[in-house]
């Protein structure tokens, strides 16, 4: 396979051409200094002439360091948290690591197995997972010097950083809406496999109960606009529901569209809130009330934890809780007067 290419030159060949020892070339490559200017020149010339490039696999083998960190994602992650990844990558690069996104097909178990494979095969020094890795912590730690971190927001074990604090904004939304007259709510939740979805659902239920409001159900959504659409479409024409709390912006968008399609004004007849503050939600009509989530900060914090772990340093203070902030826009407003339609 692909033996069409000429064999790559090695450090020894460079050394021979430069009339030095291979170790001298290695020193040059590692920028270790302590080389005479003339030697440096000869080595550089030899490298240039042969088109030599160090074999990083061989180097990794000897040094037992790969400089690679992996981020493991479910393969069908249509909703790639790109802002989080970008920020995480920036931190990784800053620290001299190469960050790789590995998408793994199959369920959590398959993903977990794969992540473990990556870690224990010496291919990467650390793994950042955006979804839970069931059973991974049971693995014998002896076989690996790698580290893994599961991002709180997506953690499946409810031990993420400030996870419940995160979902607490659901409470703020409901309190605000209740304050402007809303009594009857529906929640469009995300898939149960996502702890962030579960947390929001849980807070929703608790707060509705605490405030003595009425929940007309929790819809099991799949994060897609379509399911948000279907959820509102499924409401009775005379449904008393006046507020929909969607667990993300696409579902909220679908809900808004369904309301408008049946002639319900948003927010005159129905208030809808989303989550994530997508750019498109800001420019939609009506613009979407949503929750600003600092994905960049999440990505940075997660990657910093991972790198600290990999380096054996103490974990950075968990004090930096990513702040979620409610942003009210046009899709929410006062509840309609009972019995009237807007």
Partner DNA sequence: CGTGGAATAGTGATCGTTCACTTTTCCGTC
Partner DNA sequence: GACGGAAAAGTGAACGATCACTATTCCACG
Query: Which positions from 37 through 66 interact with DNA, judged by CB under 7 A?
Result: 38-39, 52, 54-55, 58-59, 61-64
Instruction: Tell me: cis bond preceding 267? Omega within 30 of 0 counts.
Output: yes
| Residue 226 found at the interface with a second copy (CB under 8 A) | yes
Query: Which positions from 296 through 315 interact with a second copy, judged by CB under 8 A?
Result: 310-312
* Region binding a second copy by CB under 8 A among candidate stretches 37-45, 52-60, 154-162, 207-215: 52-60
Q: How far is the CB of 36 from a second copy (least distance, A)?
A: 27
* Region binding a second copy by CB under 8 A among candidate stretches 19-27, 140-148, 176-184, 236-244: 140-148
Nearest CA among 319, 327, 252, 246 for reference residue 293 = 327
**Closer to a second copy by Cβ: residue 201 or 329:** 329
Q: What are phi and psi of 333, to 5 degrees?
A: -170, -170
**Closer to DNA by Cβ: residue 59 or 113:** 59
**Closer to DNA by Cβ: residue 12 or 342:** 12
| Residue 17 found at the interface with a second copy (CB under 8 A) | no
- Hey, how many other C-beta atoms are within 10 angstroms of the C-beta on 17? 18
Give the x/- contact pattern for a second copy in 178-217, rule: CB under 8 A. Answer: ----------------------------------------
Q: What are phi and psi of 165, to 5 degrees?
A: -55, -40
| Residue 57 found at the interface with a second copy (CB under 8 A) | yes
Q: How far is the CB of 309 from DNA (least distance, A)?
A: 21
**Closer to DNA by Cβ: residue 65 or 93:** 65
**Closer to DNA by Cβ: residue 62 or 340:** 62
Among 12, 45, 75, 109, binds a second copy (CB under 8 A): 75
Q: How far is the CB of 147 from DNA (least distance, A)?
A: 18
Could you tell me if residue 217 is left (phi over 0), alpha (psi between -120 and 50 degrees) or otherwise beta?
left
| Residue 137 found at the interface with DNA (CB under 7 A) | no
**Closer to DNA by Cβ: residue 66 or 271:** 66
Query: Which positions from 246 through 305 interact with a second copy, judged by CB under 8 A?
Result: 249-250, 253-254, 256-257, 260, 278-287
Q: How far is the CB of 190 from DNA (least distance, A)?
A: 40
Q: Identify what 287 binds: a second copy, DNA, none; CB under 5 to 8 Å per kind.
A: a second copy
Binding site for DNA (CB under 7 A): 7-8, 10-12, 15, 19-26, 29-30, 33-36, 38-39, 52, 54-55, 58-59, 61-64
């Amino acid at each position: 396979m692909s033996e069409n290419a000429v064999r790559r030159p090695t450090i020894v060949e460079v050394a021979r051409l430069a009339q030095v020892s291979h170790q001298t070339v290695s020193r040059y490559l590692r920028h270790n200094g302590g080389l005479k200017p003339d030697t440096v020149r000869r080595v550089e010339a030899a490298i240039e002439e042969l088109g030599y490039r160090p074999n990083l696999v061989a180097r990794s083998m000897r040094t037992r360091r790969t400089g690679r960190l992996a981020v493991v994602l479910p393969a069908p992650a249509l909703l790639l948290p790109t802002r989080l990844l970008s920020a995480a990558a920036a931190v990784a690069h800053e620290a001299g690591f190469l960050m790789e996104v590995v998408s793994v097909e199959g369920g959590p178990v398959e993903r977990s197995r794969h992540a473990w494979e990556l870690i224990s095969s010496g291919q990467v020094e650390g793994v950042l997972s955006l979804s839970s890795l069931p059973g991974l912590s049971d693995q014998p730690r002896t076989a690996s010097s790698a580290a893994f971190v599961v991002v709180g927001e997506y953690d499946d074990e409810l031990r993420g950083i400030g996870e419940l604090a995160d979902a607490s904004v659901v409470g703020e939304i409901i309190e605000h809406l209740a304050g402007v007259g809303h009594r009857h709510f529906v929640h469009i939740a995300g898939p149960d496999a996502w702890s962030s979805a579960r947390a929001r659902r849980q807070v929703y239920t608790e707060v509705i109960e605490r405030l003595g409001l009425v929940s007309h159900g929790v819809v099991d959504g799949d994060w897609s606009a379509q399911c948000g659409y279907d959820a509102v479409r499924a409401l009775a024409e005379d449904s008393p529901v006046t507020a929909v709390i969607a667990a993300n912006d696409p579902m909220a968008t679908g809900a808004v569209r369904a309301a408008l399609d049946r002639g319900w004004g948003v927010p005159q007849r129905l208030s809808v809130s989303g989550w994530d503050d997508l750019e498109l939600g800001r420019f939609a009509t009506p613009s979407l009330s949503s929750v600003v989530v600092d994905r960049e900060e999440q990505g940075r914090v997660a990657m910093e934890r991972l790198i600290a772990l990999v380096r054996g340093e103490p974990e950075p203070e968990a004090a930096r809780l990513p702040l979620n902030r409610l942003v009210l826009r046009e899709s929410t407003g006062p509840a309609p007067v009972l019995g009237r339609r807007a």
